[in-house]
Amino acid sequence: MSNDKAVRLSVQHLPTDEVYHDIARIPEEHRKDPHGQRISRGEVCQLRCKETGKRVFIVLYGGSKNAEIQIDNRTRRNLGVTVEHDYDFELIPSGFWGEVRWALGSGDVVYRFSSKVALVSLFLGLVGVALGVLALFLSRH
């Protein structure tokens, strides 16, 4: 890893059965955050390509032992990278809001739809609480 905490990886195809799931396969030794801490498998991160300056939210999983990143065509297009070329990547753990953004922008309709339903449910729940508080306030006056 270089001093700027980016890792140079060769872009490769993701296996066909894993496309449109917004995942990246990166060997464990290369899955490190900007502080050099190892990032666990299954964690949502922001993947940034230093050369293009573009970013995506992805879920990290293990890969081969080579210095490569396996990503699908949709992710490659969003990052502006091509297969069989090397790029410097940064991995930034996303936290809760990054996970929400990942789900809302997912290429998999199951994740995208369920996250939108959850947001609508949250909104309706907040409306219900607000109406309950308003009713209590009005009943006391």
Average pLDDT, the chain: 92
| Structure tokens that stand for 80 in this block | 């502006």
Give residue-wise pLDDT tens across range 53-103. Answer: 999 999 999 988 889 999 999 999 999 999 999 999 999 999 999 999 999
CATH number, domain 7-103: 2.40.40.20
Determine if the pTM surpasses 0.75: yes
Asked if pLDDT for residue 30 goes beyond 60, the answer is: yes
* pLDDT value of position 5: 82
Judge whether 108 and 17 are in contact, CB under 8 Å. Answer: no
SS3 at position 42: coil
CB burial string 46-75: b at 16+ within 10 A, e below: bbbbeeeeeebbbbbbebeeeebbbbbeeb
* pLDDT value of position 26: 95
Closest CA to 49 of 24, 80, 22: 80
